[in-house]
Chains A and B, each alone.
Chain A
Amino acid sequence: MKVSDRVEEVPPSGIRKFFELAEEMDDVISLGVGEPDFSAPWAAREAAIASLEQGKTSYTANRGRKDLREEISAHVAERYGLEYDPDDEIIVTTGVSEGVDVALRALIDPGDVVAVPQPSYVSYEPGITFAGGEPLPVPTSDDEFKLTVEGLERAGAADADALLYCYPNNPTGAIMTEDDLRPVAAFAREHDLTVFADEIYSELTYGHEHTSIATLPGMRERTVVFNGFSKAFAMTGLRLGYALAPPEAVAGMNRIHQYSMLSAPTTAQYAAIEALRNCEEEVAEMIGQYDRRRQFVLSRFDEMGIDCFEAEGAFYVFPEAPGGDDEAFAEALLQEHGVAVVPGSVFGEDGEGHLRVSYATGLDDLREAMDRIETFVE
């Protein structure tokens, strides 16, 4: 059977090769995981169980349960100063991944150019291609992995139609402060770009408060903000995200969502309501743990003499691969010392020469993994 040209055009994920290699081996310590090692807070899990016991297994409203949208509206207002109407400016999606997918399909026309900072999360460029758009990579490695106006101009983003990014960033751990965002927002306004801001790691910043670009002047009307429960609430497997956007954008997204997904998982929506209402302490505890591990990992790389960008968000650091060849280093490290990390080139050309190292792993394993890396480097 013939697969569509659109799908053929997209190569398989580079992560797959490392996944298959790691799966074949015993005694692998994986620092290649892009998800929390914690479980969702118990109160949230309990709410999910209770909803099942009560037989709440039907579809919900296409946009998600109203009480969940109201909780989301209150949460983002309090945490980030984002004011969105739960009735027509919020849509609950099956993870941020679905949110990004429907937003791109709803707001991008065939041939539209979408600028994406590189290195970036592996799904963005394929998602743009599937939506008929053209990804435009914006290298960031010369700018401490932040988006800058100079970088956007160099890449030709002034002629683009949209900008899609994720900060705090996967895979680098870079964040964009309000001062960093202001000129980017001005650039977006000047060149009339739609902005897709994936803020799934917004809770995971260390020493800085997260700023959403949608709070900057003139940005709310041109921005779709994505967030969800996977990272901060350790609910990756429950597949629940949400998007915040002006009514016409949400209506467009909902038109695709209602024909494809119908509604996000009902059980997960009950867990999410409880997570937003009563799990603040657990989230704070997890963030504290990540921060200690972050400092531990950065300090170990520093002692080994490996250059490592000082990541201030998410749960990744992005050190330079000793020797320069990230793929060869990651493969040898895995095969000779049983430590899985992800080569930076998987996240785009501009990630070459780096490694994504996740510290969403217990400290004992982290220590052992860092010891093995040290032995390998020596």
Chain B
Amino acid sequence: MSKRELLDLLLENARYSTADLARMTDLDEDEVVATVEALESEGVIKGYQAVVDWNKVAEERVRASVELNVTLDRETSYGDIAERLAKFPQVTTLRLVSGDYDFEMEVEGESMQEVSKFISDKVAPVPEITQTVTHYVMDTYKDRGLQMSDGDDDDRLSVSP
């Protein structure tokens, strides 16, 4: 059994019980616990999160995808800028990317005003940042591999040959 197999199962559903994981991988429960603990302590597993369809929650939740361009100097690297930005709790995802811009940043807030204010007050003033382009998320159809629609009713015959 590979660590990869356990990781695949946890990616599929991090709430599988230890007993279920053991049954599916033909391992002892003790081995599952030990392997998952090792993966956690090695930092391979960074954490466990729910994938939420915010459309079904009454509270407003605003997400934006922000393109950032930066200029570097002798003292400042991409890593330095990323470290500074990643510390903001509003930033949920931050990646250095190739192409027309340097960083791709996802930001969450309670309202458009809050997100806008965060970009203008906290992000844009960072000296190395030369440009920000903010795209508000209008709807989410798929997130981390999970589709948000409910079109997966099982309409097979209940008993078939």
Contact = CB atoms under 8 A, between A and B. Distances in A.
B74 interface: no
A293 interface: yes
B24 interface: yes
B23 A19 contact: no
Interface stretch (A54-62, A133-141, A272-280, A295-303): A295-303
B133 interface: no
Interface string B29-46: 000000000000000000
Listed residue (B9, B20, B154, B158) with the most chain A CB atoms within 10 angstroms of its CB: B158
Contacts of B20: 296, 363, 367
A367 to B, nearest CB: 7
Contacts of A123: 161
Q: Which interface class (under 10, 10 to 19, 20 to 34, 35 or more) fits A?
A: 20 to 34
A33 interface: yes
A30 B26 contact: no
Contacts of A296: 20, 23-24
A135 to B, nearest CB: 16
A114 interface: no
Interface in A21-40: 22-23, 28, 30, 32-35, 37
B25 interface: yes
B97 interface: no
B24 A33 contact: no
Interface residues of B, number: 17
Contact of B25 (A37, A295, A367): A295
Contact of B160 (A35, A292, A300): A35
B39 to A, nearest CB: 18
A122 interface: yes
B138 interface: no
Contacts of B154: 37, 361
A18 interface: yes
A121 interface: yes
B24 A292 contact: yes
B161 A28 contact: no
A11 to B, nearest CB: 14
A13 interface: yes
Contact of B159 (A170, A299, A340): A340
Contacts of B156: 30, 33, 35, 37
Interface of B: 8-9, 13, 16, 20, 22-26, 154, 156-161
Given A19-B158, A367-B20, 14 more contacts: A28-B158, A33-B157, A33-B159, A121-B161, A122-B161, A123-B161, A292-B9, A295-B23, A295-B26, A296-B20, A296-B23, A296-B24, A299-B26, A363-B20
20 contacts: A13-B161, A15-B159, A19-B157, A19-B158, A22-B158, A30-B159, A32-B158, A32-B160, A33-B157, A33-B160, A34-B160, A35-B156, A37-B154, A121-B161, A292-B9, A295-B23, A295-B24, A299-B22, A299-B26, A340-B158
Interface of A: 13, 15, 18-19, 22-23, 28, 30, 32-35, 37, 121-123, 170, 288, 292-293, 295-296, 299-300, 340, 342, 361, 363, 367
